[in-house]
Structure formats: C-alpha cells, structure tokens
C-alpha cells in the first residue's frame, strides 16, 4: 500500500509525499511498538520496486539510483525548513533536480505544465508535483514533523496552517510531556 493512500494524501501531493517519506526517520513507540525507521530506496533494487509501486519507470542503474537518493535528500532538507527559510535549501535542490529534464507545455486554457522529457527519468514527475504545489500556494503546507525522533513529512490540513507535528496526539503530545518533565526536573531556585 502506498503511504499516500494510508494517510489519505490528495493525488496532487501524493507522489511527492511518498517520495519524500522513502526515508523514514521515525523512532518512537506507537501501539507498544517502537518504530525503527528505514530507507525504502536504500538499494537500486528497492528503488526499482518503489518505481513499480508508483507506476513509474522500472529501469534503475547505479547512476540513476545515486541521483534519486540525492534528489530525495535535497527535497527533505528543503521541506524540513520552515517555509520562510526554505530559500536557503533551494540551490542544493536545484542541483539535484537539474538532471531531470523538464519540458514546458501550455494547454488550451493557457495553463503552463511541466512535462518530464521523453527518456528523462520519471522522478521528473515528483518535481512537476513540487512545482504545481508551489504555484498553487500549497507547498508551505508540506512540512517535516518538528519532533527530532520523527521527521515525517506531513501535509498540514489545519485551517491556519500552523501545525508543527505530524500528529497532535502522538508527536505533539510527547513533545508537551517532555517539556513538562523538563520544567519539573529543573531545580527550584527559591529553595536552594
């Protein structure tokens, strides 16, 4: 099952969401089970399997795999920053994206679309989705969870768009408990 199906991510963001989360850094306990994270594209063979699961090209050699991992890591670095600071990560993303040739196409209504070039790697589709989210003002809604034990890329569907954690009952709650414990364990200055 695709992650975007499990977490009901809309189709316009699904491929980017799934690709960014091929690196799972979650290390916390949920339902009495400790998550151990993992990399869904840690070998060329696993990247090939991921492509197949997402109806993309299956041909992966060592070079294509290397480029894909670089793109995934650059996307994650970009999404981990708060939206106003993301420009700092743009040059690295530009470098990683530059090999995925895209063509500009205008449709009958005058809308501009980015189409991966024939023969170009199909991860161009991830960048197309990235671009569409950016021009429709939705890219700021794609964020990485602020919990250092999580880092899951999530879609902020709250009205104000100010969510910091992928789950307010999970990561948000743990963060609050941690802050509470830290406050309580601080020596009481007045009693010293």
- The contact set with Zn ion (CB under 5 A) reads 145, 147, 150, 152, 166, 171
Paired sense of beta strands 102-106 and 112-116, if any: antiparallel
Token pair 């569907």 is found at 157
Q: Which of 86, 92, 78, 59 is nearest to 19 (CA)?
A: 78
Cα 96 from Cα 73, distance rounded (Å): 9
Phi, psi dihedral angles at 66 (to 5 degrees): -60, -45
Nearer to Zn ion, 39 or 149 (CB): 149
Cα 156 from Cα 183, distance rounded (Å): 29
Q: Is the dihedral of CA 40, 45, 47, 48 positive or negative?
A: negative
Report yes or no: 50 and 40 within 8 Å, Cβ to Cβ.
yes
Nearer to Zn ion, 7 or 140 (CB): 7
Least separation in angstroms between residue 169's CB and Zn ion is: 11
Least separation in angstroms between residue 66's CB and Zn ion is: 29
Nearer to Zn ion, 2 or 27 (CB): 27
Nearer to Zn ion, 18 or 147 (CB): 147
Nearer to Zn ion, 57 or 167 (CB): 167
Least separation in angstroms between residue 85's CB and Zn ion is: 19
Phi, psi dihedral angles at 162 (to 5 degrees): -115, 15
Least separation in angstroms between residue 192's CB and Zn ion is: 37
Q: Is the dihedral of CA 55, 59, 61, 63 positive or negative?
A: negative
Least separation in angstroms between residue 159's CB and Zn ion is: 20
Least separation in angstroms between residue 150's CB and Zn ion is: 3
Cα 2 from Cα 123, distance rounded (Å): 16
Nearer to Zn ion, 97 or 166 (CB): 166
């Amino acid at each position: 099952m695709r992650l975007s199906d499990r977490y009901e991510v809309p189709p316009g963001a699904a491929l980017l969401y799934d690709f960014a989360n091929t690196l799972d850094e979650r290390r916390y306990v949920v339902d009495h089970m400790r998550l151990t994270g993992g990399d869904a594209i840690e070998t060329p063979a696993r990247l090939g399997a991921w492509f197949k699961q997402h109806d993309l090209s299956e041909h992966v050699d060592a070079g294509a795999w290397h480029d894909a991992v670089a793109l995934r890591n650059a996307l994650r670095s970009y999404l981990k920053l708060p939206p106003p600071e993301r420009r700092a990560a743009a040059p690295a993303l530009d470098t990683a994206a530059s090999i995925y040739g895209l063509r500009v196409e205008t449709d009958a209504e005058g809308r501009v679309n980015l189409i991966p070039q024939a023969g170009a790697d199909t991860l161009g589709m991830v960048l197309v989705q990235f671009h569409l989210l950016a021009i429709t003002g939705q890219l700021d809604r794609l964020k990485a969870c602020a919990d250092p034990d999580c880092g899951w890329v999530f879609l902020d569907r709250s009205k104000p768009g100010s969510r910091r954690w992928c789950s307010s009952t999970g990561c948000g709650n743990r963060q609050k408990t941690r802050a509470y414990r830290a406050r309580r364990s601080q020596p009481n200055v007045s009693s010293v």
